[in-house]
Amino acid sequence: MALHFDKTITTREQLRSVLGDPSPRVLAKVIDHIDVHCRGFIARTPFLLLATANGQGKVDVSPKGDPAGFIQVLDDHTLAIPERLGNRLADSFLNMLERPQVGLLFMIPGKSETLRAGGTARIVQDDWLLEKMAVRGKPPQMATVVTVERMFFHCAKCVMRSHLWQPDAWPELDGVPSLAQAIIDHAKLTDSVQAVQAGIDESYRDRLY
């Protein structure tokens, strides 16, 4: 049975009646380039979330991670994100081919504020760029090059509420299934947990780069 909701917001006016309007300071903080403060944050970022959508509007969010500084700022409007070995689903890239607009969220462990950006993406394989992003002597397979159209810092409230960087507040993991078990159940596999876990362990050991 589909859930029914009596009070839904369907117009901009309804939304603003609940939230109010942003202050001039908040509106003014959104910039259209990568300035010195954004460069400093990106240089220390080891973890990034990349949001994409296909031509039908189906949205995907993909995590990207590497040693801090893995995101290359090429100029005041352009940055590049390396693509390492993965599961080959290529959801983000297939989406970009249909709709190049992307959203980015940069995170630094221990830092409560985050950095957000939006822009237009291209998938590139230029050797000069890939070589700049090599790790352990291995360049990425390709790179996502984003032309930044908007960028701004996001306040710390969500991180403070979640206690994200406070280990003593983290929830217990009891009852959370292993990746191997989840794969078996979701894909309806007959393989053992041990066999699937062995494949995961091998990938983590041999296919990071």
At 96-115, the pLDDT tens digits run: 999 999 999 999 999 999 99
Query: Above 90 in pLDDT, residue 1?
Result: no
CATH 2.70.150.10 assigned to 22-162: no
pLDDT > 70 in the chain, percent: 100
List, for residues 15-49, the tens digit of each pLDDT value.
999 999 999 999 999 999 999 999 999 999 999 99
Distance, CA of 194 to CA of 175 (rounded, Å): 18
Question: Which residue's entry shows tokens 């693509």?
Answer: 83
Residue of higher predicted confidence among 1 and 161: 161
Mean pLDDT computed over 191-197: 97
Integer Cα distance of 103 and 96 in angstroms: 11
The distance between the two most distant Cα atoms of the chain, rounded to a whole number of Å, is: 58
One-letter amino acid at 50 equals: L
Query: How many angstroms separate the CA atoms of 22 and 20, rounded?
Result: 7
Residue 115 in contact with residue 156, Cβ under 8 Å?
no
Task: Please give the structure tokens belonging to residue 191.
Answer: 């393989």
Q: What is the mean pLDDT of the segment spanning 72-80?
A: 98
Domain ranges of the chain: 22-162, 171-206
What contacts 32, CB < 8 A, 6 or more positions away? Answer: 77, 148, 149, 150, 151
Please check the confidence at residue 76 and state whether its pLDDT lies above 90: yes
pLDDT in the model for residue 147: 98
Coil, strand, or helix at residue 13?
helix
> Taking Cα atoms as reference points, which of 107, 112, 135 lies closest to residue 207?
135
Question: End-to-end alpha-carbon separation of the chain, Å?
Answer: 46
| CA–CA distance, 180 with 193 (Å, rounded to integer) | 6
Q: In the predicted model, what is the mean pLDDT of the chain?
A: 96
Classify residue 32 by its DSSP letter. S
Amino acid at 103: G
- From the list 71, 72, 126, 120, the residue with the least C-alpha distance to 97 is 120
Tokens of 201: 């362990």
| Whole-angstrom distance, CA of residue 160 vs CA of residue 112 | 7
Q: Three-state DSSP class for 164?
A: coil
pLDDT per position as a tens digit, 116-133: 999 999 999 999 999 999
Which of 71, 84, 89 is CA-nearest to residue 138? 84
Output the CA torsion sign for 70, 74, 78, 84: negative
Mean pLDDT (whole number) for 72-90? 96
